């Protein structure tokens, strides 16, 4: 999604709605991906309809430079564009529990160990940050402009782009992401996400 331009379309899930069972249930995936994600896409397109020049910009550029736009465009892009960007990363970053390695590998693994101590300590910090998000939001592992790892907590549909960072792993901690199965037990949902979260290969050295 970062490099897509208007008109935006809902990307299909790269796995079946029921594929993440028992960690994320099919009903949640249908509601979250097909309805919530679709709504952000529909509303982002509506936001951009009156602005032909903005329609040529990628989602990443829109979010990076939204602060200099007219207020209505700014608000629409922050809320809906942020929702499209974050949800795109989130759904792409999950995979079937049995099919892929659900732990970082290669250089990313080394960087996590160097930054946090080891993978378990990183999960502890990331999980604590996820629980610390007050209200609706996200927790994101990102690469800072100085190429260091940092855990970001984001409210509503903020992204890490304005801080010059690039996302590596993101967890949705809005209640719509887990309430049907986990009710108010966000900690159980976050624990379950580790069984289906997928870490990307990092193809460059960060120092």
Taking the C-alpha atoms of residue 167 and residue 160, their distance in angstroms, rounded to an integer, is 7
Taking the C-alpha atoms of residue 180 and residue 96, their distance in angstroms, rounded to an integer, is 20
Taking CB under 5 A as the rule, which mask of x and - marks residues 35-74 in contact with Fe ion?
Answer: ----------------------------------------
Q: Whose structure tokens read 């801080």?
A: 163
Q: Which stretch binds Fe ion (CB under 5 A): 13-21, 118-126, 176-184, 197-205?
A: 176-184
Taking CB under 5 A as the rule, which mask of x and - marks residues 125-164 in contact with Fe ion?
Answer: ----------------------------------------
The yes or no reply on residue 182 touching Fe ion (CB under 5 A) is: no
The yes or no reply on residue 174 touching Fe ion (CB under 5 A) is: yes
The yes or no reply on residue 6 touching Fe ion (CB under 5 A) is: no
Q: Which stretch binds Fe ion (CB under 5 A): 22-30, 120-128, 158-166, 172-180?
A: 172-180
Q: Whose structure tokens read 């007050």?
A: 134
Q: Which stretch binds Fe ion (CB under 5 A): 51-59, 126-134, 174-182, 185-193?
A: 174-182
Show the tokens assigned to 131.
């629980």
Q: Which residues contact 14 (CB under 8 A, 6 or more apart)?
A: 91, 92, 95
Cβ 174 to Fe ion, closest distance in Å? 5
The yes or no reply on residue 172 touching Fe ion (CB under 5 A) is: yes
Q: Which secondary structure element, helix H or strand E, spans residue 126, and what is its range?
A: helix 119-132
Where b means 16+ CB within 10 Å and e means fewer, 151-177 reads: bbbbeebbbbbeeebebbbbbbbbeeb
Q: Which stretch binds Fe ion (CB under 5 A): 56-64, 151-159, 168-176, 178-186?
A: 168-176
Which runs of consecutive H residues, i.e. helices, occur in 16-101? 26-29, 38-48, 59-65, 71-76, 82-92
Sites of contact with Fe ion (CB under 5 A): 172, 174, 177
């Amino acid at each position: 999604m970062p490099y897509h331009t208007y008109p935006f379309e809902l990307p299909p899930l790269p796995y079946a709605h029921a594929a993440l069972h028992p960690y994320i249930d099919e009903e949640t995936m249908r509601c979250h991906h097909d309805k919530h994600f679709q709504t952000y896409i529909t509303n982002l397109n509506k936001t951009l309809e009156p602005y032909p020049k903005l329609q040529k910009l990628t989602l990443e550029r829109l979010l990076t430079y939204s602060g200099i736009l007219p207020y209505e465009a700014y608000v629409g892009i922050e809320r809906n564009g942020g929702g499209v960007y974050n949800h795109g990363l989130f759904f792409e970053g999950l995979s079937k529990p049995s099919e892929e390695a659900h732990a970082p590998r290669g250089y990313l693994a080394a960087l996590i160990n160097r930054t946090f101590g080891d993978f378990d300590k990183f999960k502890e910090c990331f999980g604590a940050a996820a629980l610390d998000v007050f209200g609706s939001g996200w927790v994101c592992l990102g690469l800072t402009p100085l190429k260091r790892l940092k855990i970001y907590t984001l409210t509503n549909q903020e992204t890490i782009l304005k801080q010059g960072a690039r996302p590596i792993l993101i967890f949705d901690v809005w209640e719509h992401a887990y309430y049907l199965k986990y009710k108010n037990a966000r900690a159980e949902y976050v624990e379950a996400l580790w069984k289906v979260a997928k870490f990307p290969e990092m193809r460059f050295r960060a120092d």
